[in-house]
Structure 1
Amino acid sequence: MKERNQYIEIEDFLADESFRLWMKSGNDHDGWEEWTLEHPSRAKLVEEARLWLLAMKVSESNVSPDEVDAALQKTWMKIEKVEQERKMEQKIIQLWNTSWFKKVAAVLVIGLLSFYTYNNYFVEKGNSYYEQIIANTDDDGLLEQINNSNKPQIITLSDGSSVLLQPKSKLSYPKIFRGNERNVYLSGEAFFEISKNPKKPFFVHANEIVTKVVGTSFRIKAYAEQSDVEVLVRTGKVEVNSKKMNQKEMVLLPNQALRFERKNQTFDKITDITKDKSINNSVQSIEQLSFEFTDIPVAQIFKTIEQAYSVEIDFPKKELKNCHLTTSLSDQPLPEKLKIICKSISENSSYTMNGNQITILSKGCN
């Protein structure tokens, strides 16, 4: 039997005797409740398995005649439903014999087949691939952030790195990075600004590729339903490799990109992103704005950060009205940017961050 950390299908849970015992009697001898809390990404599968068990539950006592009648009645209703569907099929066949209906139906069938093929090859495969990655990782107790809103969300990791998670995307990451590596798992799109640590490289697992960095900023676009994975580097250097291909990793430098075709398992390196229409059109504010400031008002710097990270910054406008800064913030994660700004304003300035809301505490400039 598989280890429960490898359970990625409902059938895995249903085949586990201790899981069935927990669901049917409430006896949690093997710590299922605690395990579910520690693996929130598997909570949905646990709930679906529970519903299956309820649906399949059969009393072990002798079945009464009333129960037999009820069961027969349900079966008869199902038979009637099938019969109605069969009659409907006959009507459709009669319609099919008309030429105009054949033309309309042909267009619909082609469209539905295309949609079915697209979803089976990419949507379901992509989602299950993400779940497989999470199931096979050695990291226990991963946190999962899902962005169901219509604007980006900022995530601060334990090492000080920041991730700008786009809508309809999710990121799994450990509460604290342990060992000699920093591993996170992405399904969707996100912009990463990684805190530098040469002794502890950072890995982003996204669909079939792994992106390795030490300290840099880059964007990965790896939606489960899309046929390509894209990596675009803003600063620093990244190495991209495929989990299924035995080939040398692809190295990307600033303003370079890579497109990985999932179906053919091929890489396409783009050395000039301005010549690639798709990538050039997808460039975001955070990738375009400059964080090099020379004698710039603090209020304007905060406005630039708000625009880049889709955050709101509340600061004492009166106290900081005449504050100007000269600083370089191009290659730092958002928390580091805020620390540098506060320290430049005054030794007593600080900030707090709650989700996408940032508050600056200060009594004025030095």
Structure 2
Amino acid sequence: MQERNNYTEIEEFLADESFHLWIRFADDQKKWEEWTLEDPKRAKLVEEARLWLLAMNVPESTMSKITVNDALESTWAKIKNKEKNNNQIQKSTIKLWNSNWIRGAAALLLFGYISTWIYNDYYFSNNNSNIYYELINKNREGLVEQTNNSNNPQIITLSDGSSVLLQPNSKLSYPKIFVGNERKVYLSGEGFFEISKNPEKPFFVFANEIVTKVVGTSFRIKAYTNQPNVEVLVRTGKVKIKSNQIIANSEEEEVVLLPNQALRFVRKGLTFHKITDITKDETLAHSVGNIEHLSFEFTDIPVSQIFSTIEQAYLVNIDFPKEKLKNCHLTTSLNDQPLPEKLKIICKSLGNNSNYEMNGNQIIITSDGCN
């Protein structure tokens, strides 16, 4: 930490992670307080940096050192460019930089950059997060929240047999048991849904600003709080989408999507954009995952190959008795079935005491062979 002895600019303090910890969380492992009190001039600069940091109110880990350095480099480049245009010599540049007004201008540019960044990456994100929490607080079913903090997708099985492949940095709130005439879940982030068919009990996914209504189908919703758009892409079946009532000034419209169609909800203007052919949308075309393009139509296919397809699609591990099932082939259609239903159909087709057990992303198949 001897390098801080050379700090002469507020920006240098803002780029120091240990300084953030001390000011915001009173974590003084680097002995900032002791270092500050050693020199009255130093203390004044530290106080200015402290006020800047508190004014910005940036959450921990959201402002990286690279981000601040980029802002500083950009600011310095603008100043140098302006001085170059005015044909001033290098000494004038140094003198100008040391003058109060140019230092203020640099600070103003930096503050403007950081303020805009904070609004887009923090305030906007938290505003969308508030929608998610406001929605679940209105629910009276006693919800369970599952958060995926790992680097891999996680399978969630709901009480009605529906399944959700929840992506990293995403969360899903749902009741332990669906009651009443509707099934409601709440998503913030990204998930691929396969819904168990029940025409008398429609399924609703509340994903921040939008509500997706289905009966039995498979689709993906991408509703991260820090991204400008919310997207819904349908693989099978049909869905109906409209705005949440919480969203002010949004038009009360309903969009119907069929297979290979998508919808993009633009948050800035609260508008819907329907995409009738996802292959013509570059962003959507590149975002399609294994689970959305793999076929689950099997004609006289070895069971081991069927299990391999499921592993690729859901990113799960399937343990099964390879020797007992090595000569087993199946003909079946599993295209529009949630994962638990797929496994149930396979086990029923195999017979001979075939069963499955799911524990997170680990699936165990027990069987005495095939009929």
- Structure-1-length-normalised TM-score: 0.73
User: Is 1:341 the counterpart of 2:354 in the alignment?
Assistant: no
Residues 312 and 88 of structure 1: is their aligned pair in 2 closer, same or farther, counting only changes over 3 Å? closer
Structure 1's 280 and 99: CA in aligned 2 closer, same or farther, altered over 3 A? farther
- Whichever residue aligns with residue 357 of structure 1, its letter is Q
Cα drift, residue 246 of structure 1 = 4.4
For 1:171, what is the secondary structure of its paired residue? Answer: strand
- What residue number does 2:272 align with? 267
Amino acid at match of 1:248: E
Q: 1:284/1:107 Cα in 2 relative to 1: closer, same or farther (>3 Å)?
A: farther
Q: Which amino acid aligns with 1:340?
A: I
Aligned with 2:115 (options 110, 113, 121): 113
In 2, Cα distance between equivalents of 1:88 and 1:316: 64
Aligned to 1:147: 148
Q: Which residue of 2 aligns with 1:281?
A: 286
- Deviations 1:255-310 (Å, cap 9, x if unpaired)? 00000011211000000101111111111110010000111110000000001001
Q: Where in structure 2 are the equivalents of 1:233-312 lying within 5 Å? A: 233-243=234-244, 244=247, 245-312=250-317
Q: CA deviation at 1:97?
A: 2.7
1:32-71 to structure 2, matched below 5 A, reads: none
2:182 paired residue number: 181
1:205 aligns with 2:210: no
- 1:138 paired residue among 122, 137, 140: 140
Instruction: Report the counterpart of residue 8 of structure 1 in structure 2.
Output: none
Unmatched segments (≥5 aa) in structure 2: 1-36, 51-95
Q: Give distance in 1, aligned partners of 2:48 and 2:240.
A: 60
The one-letter amino acid paired with 1:132 is E
Q: Take 2:98 and 2:327, find their aligned partners in 1: how far apart are those partners?
A: 77
- Asked if the contact 1:238/1:251 (under 8 Å) is kept, the reply is yes
Partner SS for 2:324: coil
Distance 1:340 1:87 in 2: 67
Structure 1's unaligned 5+ residue stretches are: 1-76
Contact 1:233 1:252 in 2 (8 A): yes
Deviation at 1:154, TM superposition (A): 0.2
Q: Could you say which residue in structure 2 is the equivalent of 1:127? A: 129
| Letter in structure 1 aligned against 2:132 | Y
AA matched with 1:149: S
Label 1:105 to 1:329 Cα distance change in 2 as closer, same or farther (>3 A): same
**Is the Cα–Cα contact under 8 Å of residues 243 and 253 in structure 2 kept in the other structure?**
no
User: What is the DSSP-based 3-state SS (H/G/I as helix, E as strand, rest coil) of the residue aligned with 1:117?
Assistant: helix
Q: Which amino acid aligns with 1:289?
A: L
CA positional deviation for 1:328: 0.3
How big is the shift at 1:109? 4.2
- The one-letter code sitting in structure 1 at the alignment partner of 2:205 is V
In structure 1, distance between residues paired with 2:182 and 2:291: 26
The alignment covers a number of residue pairs equal to 289
Partner of 2:68: none
Identical pairs, percent: 64
Residue 353 of structure 1 corresponds to 358
The farther-off stretch of 347-356 and 161-170 is 347-356
1:116 offset after TM fit, Å?
Answer: 1.3
Q: Distance in 1 between matches of 2:43 and 2:232?
A: 50
Letter in 2 for 1:137: N
Match of 2:18 in 1: none
Query: What SS does structure 2 have at the residue aligned with 1:319?
Result: helix
In structure 1, what is the Cα distance between the partners aligned to 2:192 and 2:308? 19
Q: Match of 2:136, as an amino acid?
A: I
Structure 1 pair 252/87, CA: closer, same or farther in 2 (3 Å)?
A: closer
SS of the residue aligned with 1:197?
coil
